[in-house]
Amino acid sequence: MWKARISVPSKVSPGTAVTVKTLIAHPMETGFRRDAIGAAIPRDILTRFEARFMDEFVFGADLHPGIAANPYLSFEFVPPASGTLALMWRDQRGQEVRETLSIEIAAT
pLDDT at position 2 is 85
Residues 67-82, mean pLDDT to the nearest whole number: 96
pLDDT of 59 > 90? The answer is yes
Backbone φ, ψ for residue 50 (5° rounding): -140, 145
* Dist CA 86 CA 83 (whole Å): 10
Specify the pTM: 0.91
What pLDDT is attached to residue 3? 94
- State the Cα–Cα distance between residues 11 and 104, nearest whole angstrom: 5
State the amino acid at position 95 in one-letter form.
Answer: Q
Q: Note the pLDDT tens digit of each residue in 1-37.
A: 789 999 999 899 999 999 999 999 999 999 899 999 9
Report the percent of the chain where pLDDT is more than 70.
Answer: 99
Do residues 77 and 18 lie in contact, with contact meaning Cβ atoms separated by under 8 Å?
Answer: yes
Instruction: Give the pLDDT score at 108.
Output: 65
pLDDT single digits (tens) 31-45: 899 999 999 999 999
